[in-house]
Amino acid sequence: MSKYILLILFAVVTFGCDDIIEVEDISNTTVIVLAPTDNAVLNNTTLTFSWEPIDSAETYQIQIATPTFEDALQIVVDSTLANTNFTTTLENTNYEWRIRAKNSGYQTAYTTKSFSIEE
């Protein structure tokens, strides 16, 4: 009798944990940016950043730097979001922004774009 209970318990643990163990590898996926696009010149200080969703992504990390990430004077935004857009107000200057998708096991590389605000 105890062999059957152990066999049933083993089957439940093995098949019941399958969804928890298997996380889709999104590391070779690229986040497609919708706006603002690369080298955009904008005349509004309130901006909505948007990108296409990635299947199996749980969150997105957005970062905005001025003037660039390589020569950053300031990281003005570093946020983790569950949705595919982010709205903020920025000052008139040059920026780079980047976005990556994440799940519990993997993350994509950043997709980086530059833009400037000139009112």
pLDDT value of residue 119 = 78
Q: What's this model's pTM, rounded to 2 decimal places?
A: 0.81
Residue 94 CB neighbours (<10 A): 14
Give 29-52 pLDDT, tens digit per residue: 999 999 999 999 999 999 999 999
Going through 8-105 in order, the beta strands assigned E by DSSP cover 33-35, 40-42, 46-51, 59-66, 74-81, 85-89, 94-102
Give 68-105 pLDDT, tens digit per residue: 999 999 999 999 999 999 999 999 999 999 999 999 99
